[in-house]
Structures are given as C-alpha cells and as structure tokens.
Structure 1
Amino acid sequence: MDGNVRVRFAPSPTGLLHIGGLRTALYNYLFAKGHDGTFVLRIEDTDQSRYVEGAEKDIKESLKWIGMEVDEGPENPGDVGPYRQSERKDIYKDYAEQLVEQGNAYYAFDTPEELDQMRERLKKSGNPAPKYDAITRMSMKNSLTLPEEEVERKLDEGEDYVIRLKVPRRETVRFEDEIRGFVSFESKGLDDQVLVKSDGMPTYHLANVVDDHLMKISHVIRGEEWLSSTPKHMLMYEYFGWEPPKVAHLPLIMSPSGGKLSKRKAESEGIPINTKDYIEQKYEPEALVNFLAYLGWSPGDDTEIHSMDELIDLFSLDRVSKGGAVFDYPKLTWYNEHYLREKPAEELFPRVNEIANEHGIDPDKEYMMEIIPLMKDRVSKVEEFITMGHFFFEDPEEYEEQALDKWSDDSAELLSDYVDKIEQLDTDEFEATTLKDKIKEVIEAHDVGFGPLMMPLRVAVSGMGHGPDLTPTLELIGKEATIRRINTAIEKLG
C-alpha cells in the first residue's frame, strides 16, 4: 500500500476553516505521511451561492500554520488538476451524460413549485419525509415519464433541467468502512440525488466521485456526517465501472455538555470554533496538533505527548474510535502549557516582544530573557507573559478583588518591617536568597507563618494573588520599585 496512498482534504470555501475540518485534514495528513503517500488539497466550490470571499485563503493559511504541507493543490498542481471544482465543470457534465445514456440517471424538468406540491401531497397522505425516489419519480416531469420527442424538444429549447441519479428501488448497498466495519443501507431509503443542478454545476456527490476517481484517491477519510451519502457514491462507482476508494468516517466532535459541538454550543461554552481563532489567540500549533490527534484516536498506550513526526509513525485508522470524541478544552490548555514550557526563552522572545509592543511596552531583551523562564510555569498562553506579567514593567494601578482577601489587619505592619530590612541592603545585595532571609527574619520576629507576609507582599508588588516565584520576582523588579510599591499598598490598603 505504501507509496500508492493518495488522500484528499476537500473543504468547501463557505466560511472559515472549522476546528472539525482541521482534524479531518490532520487525520488525512498523518495517514498519508505514515504510508509515504500524497496529501492533496481540493477546493469543493461547486455551490457558488455559498462561496465566501477569503475562505480559500483561510484554509491554506490554517494548514500552513499548523504544519501540514500540501503535496498537490491549487498552489502546487500535480498532473490531475485543476484542484478547484469550479474549474472542472466540463469534466462532470460528460460523466453525468454517460450515466443518462446508460439508464442510470435521467433529466428532470420539475419546477421548484412542482417539487413543493409533490412534497405537500405526500405529507397529506401520511408520508412524513417525502422524497423524489423510485416511487414518486413516475408521477413527475422527467425523461422517464415524458415521450422521447418532448424531452428532446425541452433540451433543444434550453428549458431548465437537473440530472438525477436513478436509485434502484429494492437493493442493499453494502460497503466496508475502515473505522466502522461493514455498513449497509437499503436503497429504498435513498432519494434520486441531483447530480447536475440547473445552472450546469455538479452537486457535491457527482463531483466528489468523479474527482476521487480521476485524482486516483486511494482512501477517503472524512467526517461521520458523510456516511449516509456514501451508498449513493457507491452506486455511482458501480455504474461507472470504477473501483471505489477505501472509506473511513471519523467520529463526531462532541460538546462537553453533550451533543454535537455546533457553532452555537461552542460559543456558549467559550470554545473557539475556527482555526483562525486559535491563530489569533496565539496557541502553540504543536499543542493543537497533539490535542486534535487525540480527539477520536489514541496510540493504545498511556502516552499523551507526541510531535507531528511521532504522530505520523503512530497513527492508524484501526485505532480511531467509532463513538463521538468530547472536546476537552482544559486538556488543550494543558497541552499548550506543556509546549510553551518546552520552548527555550530565545525562541519565545520574538513572539513575547511582539505582544509587548502591542501592549505599548518596549522591553529590554536582557530583562525579558530573565522574565520568560521565571513566568514559564505559570502561563497557559504566550500572551500571558505580558498580560499576567505586566507588573514587571509598571506599578500595579489596582489590586485584584480576590487578592485583597489576602490582606489582613496586620499586613501593613509586617510589610513596614520588611521595608525597613530591605532598605538597608545595597543594590548588589538585593537578590532572591537575601530577600527570602529577610522574610524569615520578619515572620520569626512576629511569630507568624510565611503566608501572612508573602501574600500581602505579592499583592503589593504585582496587584495579584498569584504569579511567579516571589523573591526572584522582587530581585528582577529591583529595590527602588519594590519599596515604592509596598509603600503605595500600605497607603492605599492600610
């Protein structure tokens, strides 16, 4: 199989790339690379009414950001292009005509009003889900019910028509899914799918089958929502006399509160839904790769941290779960923290510096290179080096509500004593170990624990009740600023 594996990621440019689409792309990519195969990007833009300007660019930028290189696509075509379906329109028409000639498809001239009337009529007679199928087609206006010369005349006069697939009435369509095993559908549950619309554009179903065949796609790996369309595709492969690709339908991504992770649900649960959101919120791409890989797949052991290269070696379709995978947002944060900690300060500095500039801060590199290691164990996202660490650059203007709970009646007295002690230190003595010794002296003199002094000291210096290791923080902020901030806090909070 290796080397002959060709997979495609085939998004529609109808909006920004959704996180579920990114996972589909990732599974295709991991599978292709693990078999020395080819990862194809195909833009399925046949539905021109839903086309969104900039969506294709967003898809390409998202794949690039996360580290998936496209082997063949609109930017770097191979020899089976074009790679946009809107540029392949003539190809589909010929194949649709072939099905009509073979008797596997037909011309239908029904107007939208006539289709609505048919549905209303069937609903009244007790059919809750009426469709254009083997039974209803015989009472409609199509090339199966109209005299041949009338069909010819309508075509010659340029009357609007669609081409529909002639689905057999009583047949079982059975195929093997690489994730679900054998799946079967009764053809009586399927409608006569429109293959070519009245504007001459193919529907997803026809374009998909023709393109997968012509592009020599060996494995179709896509979301579970396409499972019910697969029998129609299998019928077309049979009618064309083509070998179908292997198919694998990925489990749904579920919301933490249950049910499918829809856009609405994601918004209400504070989960970013588009890849662009993750780029803008400055997530580590490695964290998202690792998280998405485990969203419906596992290597079968307890390991959780893997680079893209390791995932390529480990990934296999037989370890993809059938059931839905819950989008565990805290887990993504955990991954993000891990990958941030792994990165050296030198690598993080340019990004942190850029964020600092956005916040109107122009940090000294040497100073920043000391802050980064100190903050690393405390931050979940790269911008928190600045948003959480802003006190390294300016005195706190206010104090966090929950931090003020740490301020008690004797806080001012303890802090005053601490100021007396550190004021006597020379600038070169103002370092973490000495500052810690001075804390011990004060708490021993007052016979209290570390908390009663450390907590208000942190609040005074940073305005927050949490943060990086305290005495190295004081050392970095320096003697003058530390004393000034403590005195301000005593004055403001008493």
Structure 2
Amino acid sequence: MGENRLRFAPSPTGYLHIGGLRTALYNYLYARQTGGKFLLRIEDTDRTRYVEGAIENLLKELEWAGIVVDEGVVLNEEETPVNKGECTPYIQSERVEKGIYNKYIDKLLEEDKAYYCFCSQERLDNLREQQKADGMVPKYDGLCRGISLEEAKKRVAAGEKYVVRMKLPANKDITFHDAIKGNVTINTNDMDDQVLIKSDGFPTYHFAVVVDDHEMGITHVVRGDEWLPSTPKHVYLYEAFGWNAPEYVHLPTVLNKSGKKLSKRNDDVSVADFRKMGYLPEGLINYLALVGWSPESNEEILSMDELIKQFTFDRVSKSGGVFDKEKLDWVNGHYIRALELPKLAEMVKPYLLEVGFINDDIQEERLELITSTFQESISKLSDIVEQSEFLFVDKVEIIEEDAKEMASGEQVPSLIEAFKNELEQVEEVDEEFSKTIMKKIQKATGVKGKNLFMPVRAILTGNVHGPELVNVIQILGKEGLLKRLNDFKIA
C-alpha cells in the first residue's frame, strides 16, 4: 500500500475515555502529517462487555473532536455505523462471521506453531492457585502440547470443548523496538502459551489484532503503554506467519494531578463529560495533545493544523502525562475569547435555558449582551451559569467582607437616592443611560472613585469585583435596578 496507515481500534464497552481520545489523536496527527491514512476498527470480540450504542457514541465524539476517519467504521447519513474502505469489514465480530481468522489459525496448527488445548477451567484455576502458592508466575503448564494434531482433530470432531493456544519455542529472546521506550526484549520462558481462539470460537484480542493489522496494512501501532507487556506475543505471531511487524509506539498513561491513572471513580474521564461541561473541541484537542507531548516551538496554543505540522513521536514523554483541569481551562478559555459573539451566545444559550435564567424567546441583542459580559471570564460554556447567577436572583446577598464594608459606608444612602432619582426620569435603561449614570450620581452626591463604584457594584451584584458595570446595569434594566436599590440591606 506504500503509505503510512495508522489505526485507532477501541472496544465498544462504554463511552470514549479521555485517554482513548488522546490515542486516537496521536494516530490521526501522525497519519495526517505523513500523508497517510487514519483507520477506525472496532474490536468487539469480548461479547460479554459489549455496550449498546457505544459505537455510535464513539464515532460522534471523534467527529465532534475534528478527527476524521479515512477508512474503517464511519457513520452514514442515517447515523448508522457502516464499513468504508477496501479492507472491509472493520468490525471484528463481522470478521469472525466471515471466517477471516480460520485460515490463519489452521496455518499455525498445520505448522505446529499452535495447538488444541482441552484443559477444563477447573484444572486451569487449580494450576494457577498452586503456582501462586509456590511463588511462581501463573502460566499454562503445556499439558496439551504433546497431543498430535490428528488426535486433537478427532477429539474436536467428537465435540470436546477446546481452545487453541500459541506454541512458544523454549528460551528464545523476542526483541522489538518501541519509538518511545526503545528496545524491549523478553524471553519466551517468561511468556505464556497465549490462547488464540477461545472456547466460544471467537479469536482473542492478541490473535485478532495481529491478523487485522496485517490484513489492513497497518504500518504503525500506536496505543497505550498498558499493551507493552503483550507486544512480544504479537511480535512472535508476526514472526510465525513470516510477516513484517509494524512499528510500535506505546504512549505514556494519562494521569490525574495526584499522579495516578485517571479513573471513573475519582475523575471526569469520558469525552461526553467534557463536552457536557462546555469545553470546545478545539480547546480539548489542543490541551490533550500537550498531555505527554510538547512541540519543539514550545507554543501552548495550537490549532489542529498546527498540531499536524509539529507532531512527532520523538517528543512524546517516556513518563505519564498529567491531565490538569486548570491548564485545560486556561487553553479552553483562549478559544472561548476568540469566538465571535453571536456564535458564543448561541453556544451558552442552552446552559442558561436549562437553569431557567432565560426563556427560549429571549431577544438576540439581550442574549449577546449577557454573553459579552462574561466572555472574558468564563473558561468553559457551563461557567456562564455560576458567573451570571447574580443577574437572575430575586435578591442579592452581600457576603464578602470587602463588599460589606463598602456597602455600609456613610455615603451609601445618598448614592441609592441619587440612582433612584435618575431611574425615575427614564422609560427604560439603555446603553446611553448605563454609560452615563455613574457620572450623574457623582455629580449629584460629590462621591467619586472607589467610594462611588464599589458600593454601587456591591449593592447591585453582591461583590466589589466582577464584570463591566455598564453591562450589568443594562441587563438588570429599570425594574431590576429599582428592586435591588429598594431591597438593599447588609446580610
């Protein structure tokens, strides 16, 4: 096929994990940079863990993230997963139905590189327990290795339950090069005669992955480093078949701030969680690329195109990358501030609707005014709710000491009186009123500077810091302002 071909091959066992998205991203960046192809294969041979709808969810999350699948499983116009490409099918269970793995397992059996094993689960469990008790590494003891192929086939034909195992040579060093870890060597004496075909007739991951990667012309296997211990088994299978092994790249684990692996129990881990919180795909992808990789330019804000230009595996860290939500917020905030106001307003609208701060028929102009008030301060779309809450509550509570101090000053009653007088002279509060009101209060009371602005801000918002007062006054409107001025008292 000539070109670089990289694949992301998840199992449909739930929602796309943030670590899985990073693996997909690194595969995609390298494929794009080298003019190659990015494939998506679904590895669903473990039928016990299959989750309905997981494939559709996975494809939608990749599309949202801007990762385009060139070949493999894609969504059609009806949003149904379909196969696209010359190595179809790309779903392992469909490949089992087509009998794709049978010819390969037959070849290994005929060449005495694999064998039928008839051991019961009970025997295997007892063996494992005994080995553990003896301080040994649990592995199969090779009891069925000596059964001739002819006899084994008779036992299979008679209906005996079996698995097929790999027949590893004794005391052989298996060496492979990993782009991040360097050279790795493991001796076959420390390996197990891996099951290749399970008792349900399905291939194991270890067998199917090698056959599929070979048939699909995969040139680089880029995956999490939890697969590193399994790689010698895969390398040996390539050798047994007489095939060239792909290049291996085992990525460091994504860790939380405590230095532990991200876990569902303690961390937000699904891409859907981040999407729901209102992270932008550009922000999440930009940040995620930097978890375990750094560009030569040391830039931190990089678009997908810039990531493609700069990405290399030799700048991927050997140790785990820490997923720091504060840093993600900083990166995502950059993309929020770069959005055009009408677009951002449409994006925050569902969050304000959900909590009942606004109605669906809100005027565009008012929604944009609310949005522009917080565009500089929100890091993700959902932040708009907490930050704008003071605008929509019936009563503002002044809790902070600074605000209490400013709002209890002797000048406060005269400021409130002057503000109310100005409000009584207008039909509605518009931009012009909002821009000039503080000057008018200053003129009427002689109070200026922080003794003017801070108490007014505290009375209207409950705080001495916050967004543009001009915007706040306009959003609250005449009715809202009068209510706050009339209701005012220190909490």
User: Is the contact made by 2:395 and 2:487 (CA closer than 8 Å) also made in structure 1?
Assistant: no
Aligned position for 1:269: none
Please state how far the C-alpha of 1:479 moved relative to its aligned partner: 4.0
Please state how far the C-alpha of 1:17 moved relative to its aligned partner: 1.0
Matches within 5 A, 1:464-475: 464=463, 466-475=465-474
SS in 1 for 2:87: coil
Aligned position for 1:408: 405
For residues 277 and 410 of structure 1, do their structure 2 counterparts lie closer, same or farther at Cα, with a shift above 3 Å needed?
closer
Return 219-228 or 113-122, whichever deviates more: 113-122
State the AA in 2 paired with 1:434. Answer: T
For these two proteins, the number of residue pairs brought into alignment is 473
State the AA in 1 paired with 2:10. Answer: P
Q: Find out whether 1:310 has 2:306 as its counterpart.
A: yes
Please state how far the C-alpha of 1:395 moved relative to its aligned partner: 4.5
For residues 442 and 321 of structure 1, do their structure 2 counterparts lie closer, same or farther at Cα, with a shift above 3 Å needed?
farther
Please state how far the C-alpha of 1:480 moved relative to its aligned partner: 4.2
Matches within 5 A, 1:429-448: 431-438=433-440, 445=447
SS in 2 for 1:248: strand
State the AA in 2 paired with 1:127. Answer: G
Aligned position for 2:380: 381
d(CA) in 2 for partners of 1:355 and 1:152?
Answer: 64
Q: Find out whether 1:114 has 2:123 as its counterpart.
A: yes
Return 190-199 or 430-439, whichever deviates more: 430-439
Please state how far the C-alpha of 1:185 moved relative to its aligned partner: 1.6
For residues 183 and 433 of structure 1, do their structure 2 counterparts lie closer, same or farther at Cα, with a shift above 3 Å needed?
same
Matches within 5 A, 1:243-322: 243-266=244-267, 272-322=268-318
Please state how far the C-alpha of 1:459 moved relative to its aligned partner: 3.5
For residues 189 and 441 of structure 1, do their structure 2 counterparts lie closer, same or farther at Cα, with a shift above 3 Å needed?
farther
Please state how far the C-alpha of 1:351 moved relative to its aligned partner: 2.0
Cα deviation, 1:456-488, whole Å, max 9, x if unaligned, reads 433432345643122332244334422321221
Aligned position for 1:206: 207
Identical residues among aligned pairs (%): 44
> Which of 349, 352, 356 lines up with 2:348 in the alignment?
352
State the AA in 1 paired with 2:88. Answer: G
Aligned position for 1:19: 18
Aligned position for 1:482: 481
Q: Find out whether 1:421 has 2:418 as its counterpart.
A: yes
d(CA) in 2 for partners of 1:170 and 1:249?
Answer: 25
d(CA) in 1 for partners of 2:304 and 2:147?
Answer: 58
Cα deviation, 1:282-340, whole Å, max 9, x if unaligned, reads 21111000011001111123311011111111111111111111111100111111111
User: Is the contact made by 1:430 and 1:475 (CA closer than 8 Å) also made in structure 2?
Assistant: no
Matches within 5 A, 1:66-77: 66-74=65-73, 75-77=82-84
d(CA) in 2 for partners of 1:421 and 1:96?
Answer: 89
For residues 456 and 129 of structure 1, do their structure 2 counterparts lie closer, same or farther at Cα, with a shift above 3 Å needed?
farther
For residues 463 and 275 of structure 1, do their structure 2 counterparts lie closer, same or farther at Cα, with a shift above 3 Å needed?
same
Please state how far the C-alpha of 1:342 moved relative to its aligned partner: 0.4
d(CA) in 1 for partners of 2:150 and 2:67?
Answer: 54
State the AA in 2 paired with 1:40. Answer: L
d(CA) in 2 for partners of 1:249 and 1:7?
Answer: 13
d(CA) in 2 for partners of 1:52 and 1:344?
Answer: 39
Aligned position for 1:42: 41
**Unaligned 5+ residue runs, structure 1?**
267-271
> Which of 97, 106, 110 lines up with 2:106 in the alignment?
97
Matches within 5 A, 1:53-92: 53-74=52-73, 75-89=82-96, 90-92=99-101
Aligned position for 1:323: 319
d(CA) in 2 for partners of 1:418 and 1:483?
Answer: 13
Matches within 5 A, 1:123-138: 123-124=132-133, 126-132=134-140, 136-137=141-142
For residues 40 and 440 of structure 1, do their structure 2 counterparts lie closer, same or farther at Cα, with a shift above 3 Å needed?
same
Please state how far the C-alpha of 1:409 moved relative to its aligned partner: 8.1
SS in 2 for 1:373: helix
TM-score, with normalisation over the residues of structure 2? 0.90
Return 92-101 or 15-24, whichever deviates more: 92-101
Cα deviation, 1:381-436, whole Å, max 9, x if unaligned, reads 223334422444x35435264x3662138626433211222334344696444334
Please state how far the C-alpha of 1:129 moved relative to its aligned partner: 2.1
For residues 112 and 77 of structure 1, do their structure 2 counterparts lie closer, same or farther at Cα, with a shift above 3 Å needed?
same
Aligned CA RMSD, in angstroms, stands at 2.4
d(CA) in 1 for partners of 2:171 and 2:34?
Answer: 39
State the AA in 2 paired with 1:416. Answer: P
State the AA in 2 paired with 1:306. Answer: L
Aligned position for 2:227: 226
State the AA in 1 paired with 2:108. Answer: L
d(CA) in 2 for partners of 1:465 and 1:26?
Answer: 44
d(CA) in 1 for partners of 2:452 and 2:106?
Answer: 84
